[in-house]
Structure 1
Amino acid sequence: MQIAGFDIVRLVGATVALLSTYVVAKVVSRALAKTFEKTPFSEQIERAIVRVSKYVVYVVGLFVVLSILGVDLTPVIIGLGVFSIAISFATRDIIRNFVSGIIVRGDKPFRIGDRIKIRGHEGRVVKIRIRTTVIEAENGDAIFIPNSLFITNPLVVKRKGKKS
């Protein structure tokens, strides 16, 4: 038996896969939200990770549904692979600084108010953001330092409140 050119069994299977995808996305979102209650990440990072995870589940679910319906996914997968490689090269530095920002927030080598010196830049830490850390120089200038520098370079930290 067919409906709109599709076998009824395939349509039922695709519907079940679609509903399962929705349920899995909800479960993953809740599990991640619960996990993040115990982490030092900012709410913004947590929301972004949850959102990306949900999208990944939805994309995988879409592929499963299309596969059940008999759609040839080979050209789509090849296209996504090429697209992913191009995007990864284009966003390499952004991703590196983002991951470094997560590491800096997790390791906490310095805190707001500490004085730091890295690659000739020195100042008081005023903000620790996901891609950059902002320090205030002696003359009041704001210096934006990519977080990847803290992972790959020696860092001098003078703790807030400690005399040198």
Structure 2
Amino acid sequence: MRDKMNLNIFPQYPFIGLFIYIVIILIATLLAVKISSFLINRVTKKFEIELTFNYLLKDLVKYSIYIIAFLMILEVVGVDINALIVSVGVVGITLGFAARDVISSFVSGIFILADKTVKVGEVIEVDNIKGKVTKMGFRTTTIVTPDNLIVTIPNTVLAKNPYINYTFFDKYRIDLEVIIPFNIDINNFERVLVQRISNLNWVLIDSSAKVDVVEMNENGVKVKISAWGENYSRIDCYRLDLANEVRKLIGEMD
């Protein structure tokens, strides 16, 4: 059996020598994480790699560095790594049950990356929580809600529950429901409104606006007005444009 390397530079103070080596390993670990994160950012930016892969790669490298540092510290303090691996193998099933949620989130993160159904910068809704994805890791996904609240979602939630991706495609439908008074001719209203909406600069030419009757009530005829745009961040402004056109047309025809 090989002799262990004598790492104690202060034989008369064994604890101090071990403490110094551990501090050096911890400092080197932090530096390695910082440098790797910097290099990954530079490479992904240079080759225009999406941020989702950037975050997941940084997580993978970070945790790998932490594991290596932990094993080095164990070696410094005299723990037999081979014996530890055997022990971990013996208790692995127990630890697996205890950490099943963490492992499940980790695996879910890998599948989400592979499926490419959620990316950083997209707007999603899951469990009635809607927000913009700002970070994706192997365990969790972070979104920011319209109220500027930060929500951390375990990747298992995305894997097990249906979720809505509002920005997956390049064009989006803007809907507006309004009540049209009974004294206004619906056919004429639809014809004029569709023409006016089609002239709005944000409405896509290849997607015609339309007016659908939803129901009739004591106040008039409820209709749903639909048009298509391509900038999701301005959907609220587009909806205001539709409302303004409806208001002016009702005023003219009333």
Where 2:105 maps in the other structure, the secondary structure is helix
Aligned-residue sequence identity (percent) comes to: 28
Q: 1:163 aligns with which of 169, 172, 197?
A: 172
1 CA distance for matches of 2:114 and 2:64? Answer: 16
Deviation at 1:49, TM superposition (A): 6.2
Aligned to 1:103: 111
The C-alpha deviation readout for 1:23-57, integer Å capped at 9, x for no partner, is xxxxxxxxxxxxxxxxx5514415756997xx9xx
Deviation at 1:126, TM superposition (A): 1.1
Aligned to 1:126: 134
1 CA distance for matches of 2:147 and 2:172? Answer: 20
Letter in 2 for 1:163: Y
Task: Output aligned runs, 1:54-65, within 5 Å.
Answer: none
Task: Output aligned runs, 1:56-95, within 5 Å.
Answer: 80-95=88-103
Where 2:133 maps in the other structure, the secondary structure is strand
Is 1:114 equivalent to 2:114 in the alignment?
Answer: no
2 CA distance for matches of 1:48 and 1:150? Answer: 22
2 CA distance for matches of 1:44 and 1:157? Answer: 24
**Taking CA–CA contacts closer than 8 Å with sequence separation of 6 or more, which of the two structures ends up with the larger relative contact order?**
1
Deviation at 1:101, TM superposition (A): 1.0
Aligned to 2:57: 42
Deviation at 1:163, TM superposition (A): 2.8
* Residues 126, 135 of structure 1: 8 Å contact kept: yes
The C-alpha deviation readout for 1:57-83, integer Å capped at 9, x for no partner, is xxxxx87xxxxxxxxx9xx95x54441
TM-score of the superposition, structure 2-length normalised? 0.36
* Residues 110, 159 of structure 1: 8 Å contact kept: no
2 CA distance for matches of 1:48 and 1:105? Answer: 18
Consecutive unaligned residues of structure 1, counting only runs of 5 or more, are 4-39, 56-61, 64-72
Moved over 6 A (4+): 49-52
Aligned to 1:148: 156
**CA RMSD after TM alignment:** 3.1
* Residues 97, 132 of structure 1: 8 Å contact kept: yes
Letter in 2 for 1:90: A
